[in-house]
């Protein structure tokens, strides 16, 4: 039997859980309950409710932290959250909005108000699900296009990750990163309209066939233009075959007239094609691919700033990396979508040359990553360390932490143990697999009590230098860093 919607109630008070169940079930809602934040997070991921009613004041993990983790997890970030609160303070509401709450409901709650708010948010959730389903259908079509061309393999997956990584490296904002990530899958979706006789032709295409082939960018834009959520991706789909000298297609744009996101994407597209095997040639090394990109930049194909940013990101070991003597890559000006301060080490104003050098050279070693899904705690730690002259890199989740560690190689990493999706320990596992020769000093921060035996076992398994418990005092953090890395900190 169809229900009015699925509601998850997270509250540590049994009487409150019972009262809301009795109010919602007669109205046709399927009701799930959780007595604490950890159970609520698990149920949210597993059952995907339409609405979450979340108590703020709970022992252990409070409602603010639960909501922050829900919004940081791609599996649950779109679920509407209503805070149940007896707090009528302006500060509490501001903090709730900051972590992503959709609405508030004061205790004791009015039954009519409860029903109206839940029904409205269920309707909103159903609308977002329709949009998600439409996007999923387009991504499935894009996958089928990739499958038609047996020579590309997992090109879309790789390209999506690489384009997003380069965008982060260049300081693009979240909207630009999302567009790059989606373009990895959707950039050639228009090839669904290209006949196999042309798309899969083993020999050289005729001029007439090339005209048909080039039309895939227009077809792709037509397919994706119906979804507002893909609006920022459309310029990449249309212009990823442009060239800076105007010799590309479909509009023969020149220089900066090619949208920045398209310029970033086309460089990563070429790099991925060069460094992966195709039926007609071997995979090239990173150094060979970077040399080709630079040569083609001199011929007017690509944006030189973007190419040098890619070279710096992937190739500390590439001979002659960077435009200057220290291997620095000049970044483009203000990027589309706005710069992400968290993606810029130190929040801007840093020594570009030092940040591009491999570990082992002077001040570049005074670089630290702070990875925590709590913006409040992350800001506290970052401000403390920047006050001691360190270059601070930030990550809001484990996936970002892995990218920063592999791309920037800080000497010290401070990792939250309990981040959604990819936690601190998984970050260390991935780092050990991807870069076994890279051994940063690692501190793990946790609010969960750990026995000495457990901590010792984990320290041996993951090579953790120190465990730090929240709440953390600034002087304790400074002393701990000084104990493991003498001379690392500058003067206060």
* pLDDT tens series, the chain, 492 aa: 456 788 999 999 888 888 888 888 888 889 999 999 999 999 998 888 989 999 988 888 889 999 999 988 877 887 889 888 776 667 777 888 888 888 888 877 777 778 888 888 887 777 666 555 556 666 666 666 665 554 444 778 888 889 998 998 888 888 899 899 889 888 888 888 888 888 878 778 899 899 999 999 998 888 888 777 788 899 999 999 999 999 999 999 999 999 999 999 999 999 988 888 766 667 888 888 889 999 999 999 999 999 998 988 875 333 333 333 333 333 333 333 333 333 333 333 333 332 333 333 334 457 899 998 887 778 888 888 888 888 899 998 888 898 899 888 888 999 988 777 777 888 888 888 888 888 888 888 875 544 444 455 555 556 788 888 777 778 888 888 888 777 766 555
- Cα–Cα distance list, 477 to 155, 380, 385, 392, 460 (Å): 43, 11, 9, 14, 22
Identify the H or E element spanning 80.
none
Q: What's the rounded Cα separation, in Å, for the pair 242 and 264?
A: 12
Widest distance between CA atoms in the chain: 75
Question: Do residues 180 and 308 both lie within one domain?
Answer: yes
Q: Tokens for 57, please give them.
A: 């004041």
pLDDT value at residue 249: 93
Asked whether the beta carbons of 183 and 425 are under 8 A apart, the reply is no
Question: Do residues 34 and 113 both lie within one domain?
Answer: yes
Whole-model pTM? 0.45
Q: In what order do the strands lie in the sheet with 29-34?
A: 29-34, 5-10, 51-55, 81-85, 103-106
Q: Tokens for 181, please give them.
A: 């990530």
Question: Do residues 164 and 226 both lie within one domain?
Answer: yes
Q: What's the rounded Cα separation, in Å, for the pair 182 and 178?
A: 6
The last residue of a domain, from among 99, 128, 157: 128
**Closest Cα partner for 130 from 46, 227, 44, 49?**
227
Asked whether residue 304 is domain-assigned, the answer is: yes
What CATH number should be reported for the domain holding residue 231?
1.10.3210.10
pLDDT value at residue 73: 85
pLDDT value at residue 248: 93
pLDDT value at residue 331: 35
Question: Do residues 431 and 469 both lie within one domain?
Answer: yes
For residue 377, the 8-state DSSP code is H
Question: Do residues 93 and 191 both lie within one domain?
Answer: no
Q: Cβ contacts of residue 232 below 8 Å, gap of 6+? A: 175, 176, 178, 179, 261, 337
**Closest Cα partner for 63 from 72, 74, 73, 52?**
52
The last residue of a domain, from among 284, 299, 314: 314
Assign 15 to helix, strand or coil. helix
Question: Do residues 99 and 192 both lie within one domain?
Answer: no
Q: What's the rounded Cα separation, in Å, for the pair 467 and 140?
A: 43
Question: Do residues 164 and 306 both lie within one domain?
Answer: yes
Asked whether residue 141 is domain-assigned, the answer is: no
Asked whether the beta carbons of 236 and 268 are under 8 A apart, the reply is no
Q: What's the rounded Cα separation, in Å, for the pair 348 and 361?
A: 21
Q: What's the rounded Cα separation, in Å, for the pair 141 and 456?
A: 49
User: Can you give the residue range of the structural domain that contains 64?
Assistant: 5-128
Asked whether the beta carbons of 45 and 2 are under 8 A apart, the reply is no
In this structure, is the dihedral angle defined by the CA atoms of residues 317, 320, 325 and 331, taken in order, positive or negative?
Answer: negative
pLDDT value at residue 41: 93
Question: Do residues 39 and 89 both lie within one domain?
Answer: yes
Q: What's the rounded Cα separation, in Å, for the pair 172 and 261?
A: 9
pLDDT value at residue 253: 95
Question: Do residues 309 and 168 both lie within one domain?
Answer: yes
Q: Report the domain count for the chain.
A: 3
Question: Do residues 120 and 161 both lie within one domain?
Answer: no
Asked whether residue 56 is domain-assigned, the answer is: yes
Asked whether the beta carbons of 386 and 361 are under 8 A apart, the reply is no
Asked whether residue 349 is domain-assigned, the answer is: no
Question: Do residues 215 and 71 both lie within one domain?
Answer: no
pLDDT value at residue 336: 37
* Cross-strand partners of 172: 339
Asked whether residue 329 is domain-assigned, the answer is: no
Q: What's the rounded Cα separation, in Å, for the pair 32 and 52?
A: 9
Asked whether residue 13 is domain-assigned, the answer is: yes
Long-range contacts of 324-328 (CB under 8 A, 24+ apart): 324/353, 326/353, 326/354, 326/356, 326/357, 327/353, 327/356, 327/357, 328/352, 328/353, 328/356
Asked whether residue 279 is domain-assigned, the answer is: yes
Q: Tokens for 368, please give them.
A: 């630290």
The last residue of a domain, from among 284, 314, 344: 314
| DSSP H helices in 215-259 | 216-224, 234-239
What CATH number should be reported for the domain holding residue 465?
3.40.50.2300
Asked whether residue 49 is domain-assigned, the answer is: yes
Asked whether the beta carbons of 489 and 481 are under 8 A apart, the reply is yes
Identify the H or E element spanning 443.
strand 441-446
Question: Do residues 115 and 153 both lie within one domain?
Answer: no
Degrees to nearest 5, angle at CA 83 with 80 and 87: 160
Q: Tokens for 305, please give them.
A: 């700033």
Long-range contacts of 200-205 (CB under 8 A, 24+ apart): 200/148, 200/149
Asked whether the beta carbons of 193 and 219 are under 8 A apart, the reply is yes
């Amino acid at each position: 039997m169809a229900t009015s919607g699925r509601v998850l109630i997270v509250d540590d008070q049994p009487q409150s859980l019972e009262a809301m169940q009795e109010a919602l079930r007669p109205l046709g809602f399927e009701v799930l309950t959780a007595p604490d934040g950890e159970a609520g997070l698990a149920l949210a991921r597993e059952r995907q409710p339409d609405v979450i009613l979340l108590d703020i004041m709970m022992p252990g993990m409070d409602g603010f932290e639960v909501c922050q983790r829900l919004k940081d997890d791609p599996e649950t970030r779109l679920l509407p959250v209503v805070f149940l609160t007896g707090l009528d303070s302006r500060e509490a509401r501001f903090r709730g909005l900051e972590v992503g709450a959709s609405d508030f409901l004061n205790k004791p709650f009015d039954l009519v108000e409860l029903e109206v708010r839940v029904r409205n948010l269920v309707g909103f959730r159903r609308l977002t699900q329709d949009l998600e389903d439409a996007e999923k259908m387009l991504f499935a079509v894009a996958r089928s296009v990739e499958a038609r061309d047996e020579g590309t393999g997992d090109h879309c997956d790789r390209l999506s990750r690489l384009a997003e990584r380069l965008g982060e490296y260049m300081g693009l904002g979240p909207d630009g990163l999302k567009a790059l990530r989606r373009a990895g899958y959707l950039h050639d979706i228009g090839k669904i309209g290209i006949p196999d006789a042309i798309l899969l032709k083993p020999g050289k295409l005729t001029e007439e066939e090339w005209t048909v082939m080039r039309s895939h960018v227009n077809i792709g834009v037509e397919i994706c233009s119906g979804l507002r959520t893909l609006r920022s991706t459309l310029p990449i789909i249309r212009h990823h075959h442009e060239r800076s000298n105007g010799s590309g297609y479909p509009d023969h744009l020149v220089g900066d007239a090619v949208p920045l996101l398209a310029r970033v994407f086309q460089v990563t597209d070429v790099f991925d094609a060069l460094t992966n095997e195709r039926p007609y040639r071997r995979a090239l090394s990173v150094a060979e691919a970077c040399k080709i990109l630079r040569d083609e930049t001199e011929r007017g194909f690509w944006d030189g700033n973007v190419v040098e940013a890619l070279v710096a990101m992937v190739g500390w070991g590439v001979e002659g990396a960077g435009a200057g003597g220290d291997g620095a890559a000049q970044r483009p000006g203000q990027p589309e979508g706005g710069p992400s301060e968290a993606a810029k080490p130190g929040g801007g104003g840093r020594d570009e040359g030092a940040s591009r050098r491999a570990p082992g050279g002077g001040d570049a070693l005074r670089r630290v990553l702070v990875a925590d899904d709590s913006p409040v705690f992350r800001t506290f730690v970052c401000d403390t360390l920047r006050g001691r002259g360190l270059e601070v890199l930030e990550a809001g989740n484990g996936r970002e932490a892995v990218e920063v560690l592999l791309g920037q190689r800080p000497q010290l990493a401070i990792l939250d143990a309990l981040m959604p999706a990819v936690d601190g320990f998984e970050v260390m596992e991935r780092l050990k697999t991807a870069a076994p020769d890279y051994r940063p000093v690692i501190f793990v921060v946790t609010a969960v009590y750990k026995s000495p035996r457990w901590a010792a076992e984990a320290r041996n398994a993951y090579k953790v230098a120190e465990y730090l418990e929240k709440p953390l005092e600034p002087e304790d953090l400074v002393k701990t860093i000084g104990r493991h890395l003498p001379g690392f900190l500058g003067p206060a």
